[in-house]
Structure 1
Amino acid sequence: MTEYTIRQINTGWQFLDKSQYSTFREGYGVIIKHPVFVFLIEGNGRKILVDTGMSDTEHSKKYHHDGLQEPGQAVHEQLERLGVRCDEIEMILFTHLHWDHCYNLDKFPKARLYVSETEYRFAMDPIPMYWNSYESPQTGLPCPFRGRKFNLVYGEEEIVEGVRMVPTPGHSPGHMAVSVQTSEGLYFLIGDLVLMRENLRPHQKTGWPITMPARF
């Protein structure tokens, strides 16, 4: 079996209220510095990206969250410093299609794109409270992924030998993790499934179950 290497690329940070985005009802007013990662997978002559990262600082602050992308921190700029051309990227596997995971997609016109079928359908027509997350036409924002052709993934699927996409819903309807076989064992690249170590401990039940899409 092919064994791959994985490089972590930080495309910027978002400054988020901990109680709102990470530990529900705990840590009010505590601001966390959340890194927005992209991963470069290499092996057997292949170069594969997982996500393409966030927008520049101005766009993030104006339309989404207080954020920071330093000069030269965009994914294509960092790949260039690693000696990797954008046209060498064979495929891009998306954990989900929120704006901060698919910016600069236009830099990779030759890459084949993969995303969960569930995620794609929702992203193309989200309920109103998620228009901004997916930069839907109703917001007037230039959505990075509209107009691009995607290969839709139905459930768990091996994309190439040693690299699989695995459903991990919760953060978004069709969120997926990517498993990668390396010489050190199997790694999972989990997108926004877990933001902090604290998310791994059981949480007190609120007693008020809500399924947000059911409200619309």
Structure 2
Amino acid sequence: MRNDAALTPEYRVFCLRTATHTAPEPIFLYMKGFGRTVDVNCYFWLAQGNGRNVLVDTGMGGDYPGRLTESARRSEASFPVGDGEDTLSQLARHGLRPENIDVVILTHLHYDHIANVQLFENAEIVVNRKGWEAARNPIHPVFDVFPKDVLDYMATRMKAQLRLAADEETIAPGIDVLWTGGHTRCSQAVKLQTAKGKVVLTGDVAYLYENLMSEHPIGLGVSLYESVDALRRLKREGDIVLPGHDKEILERYPGGVIV
């Protein structure tokens, strides 16, 4: 009898911290914690397996030719990048350079998740299709919150690399994307097959473990209903479910080694 599970590639998954951030608690937990703040980390992720190097989001920081600085000046004051936590340094720790990355999956198009996308000239860049269109053509100024210089670069210089994904799509064997909405129109989660089962990277539809545990929606988004639906679904989909910004990830998984 054929064992399809045995044929599915398994990936190792690493959590890479790229910055820190502090914000009011109601941003992370809807209508909760007024007057309090929460300290979080910003992450990107490396998955390796089946001869592929895959990044989920791109990290921030770094000093390299061609860096897009307009958004960096506006954003990185709020998202300070620690010494050695810029994208190039984090990749180097794993013996990698940008040209070694085969696929970059973007959980959504906010600056702290796509800041260094231009580094990856050899990679397929995966964005949710309807979310990409919504970000490029916002229906109201309140939704125009994405870094225009980065999106313009992607739309022109990286057009041939863009893969506009369906709401549910297999990107490569053992790697799937699932549209979540909730946080942004372009929000998608990533599901990876590993030796310990399915690892789900939620993106920012869950900032914290508390969002997942209590199914409490985030406070910064486009739909509370989509957020709750996504939290419930992603808990069913994954054996290990990792929120987008919780500092506890590096306490649970020392060195950022998930599996």
TM-score range, shorter chain: 0.7 to 0.9
**Which string of whole-angstrom CA distances, capped at 9 and with x for unpartnered residues, describes residues 31-53 of structure 1?**
21221111111011110100113
Question: Is residue 89 of structure 1 aligned with residue 96 of structure 2?
Answer: no
Q: Comparing both structures, which one devotes a greater share of its residues to helix?
A: 2
Number of positions where the alignment pairs a residue of Structure 1 with one of Structure 2: 200
Letter in 1 for 2:154: F
Once the 2 structures are TM-superposed, how far is the Cα of residue 114 of structure 1 from its aligned partner? Answer: 0.7
Partners of 2:13 and 2:150 lie apart in 1 by: 30
Partner of residue 162, structure 1: 174
Residue 38 of structure 2 corresponds to residue 26 of structure 1: no
The separation in 2 between residues aligned to 1:15 and 1:54, in whole angstroms, is: 16
Cα separation, 1, equivalents of 2:216 and 2:118: 40
CA contact (8 A) 2:9 2:50 kept: yes
Structure 1: segments with no counterpart, 5+ residues: 205-209
Counterpart AA for 1:155: D
1:80 equivalent in structure 2: 92
What SS class does the counterpart of residue 177 from structure 1 fall into? strand
TM-score under structure 2 normalisation? 0.70
- Quick one: which of 197, 210, 217 aligns to 1:185? 197
1:65 and 1:121 map into 2 onto residues whose CA distance is 28
With 36-45 and 145-154 compared, the bigger mean Cα shift is at: 145-154
What's the counterpart of residue 129 of structure 1? 142
Matched, 1:145 2:154: yes
Identity among equivalent positions (%) equals 28
Secondary structure (helix, strand or coil) at the match of 1:67 reads coil
Aligned-pair RMSD on alpha carbons?
2.5
- 1:11-68 per-residue CA deviation (whole Å, 9 max, x = no partner) reads 111211111x111221122221221111111011110100113457x96674477322
Say whether the 8 Å CA contact 1:10–1:73 is kept in structure 2: yes
Give 1:102's aligned amino acid: I
Residue of structure 2 in register with 1:171 after alignment: 183
Q: How does 1:197-212 map to 2 (within 5 A)?
A: 197-200=209-212, 201=214
What TM-score do you get using the length of structure 1 for normalisation?
0.83
- The structure 2 residue matched to 1:46, chosen from 20, 30, 52, is 52
Q: Which has the higher strand share?
A: 1
Distance 1:91 1:36 in 2: 20
| SS of equivalent residue, structure 1 residue 68 | coil
Q: Report if the CA contact (8 A) 2:109-2:186 is conserved.
A: no
Q: Distance in 2 between matches of 1:9 and 1:30?
A: 27
Higher RCO structure, 1 or 2 (CA under 8 Å, sep 6+): 2
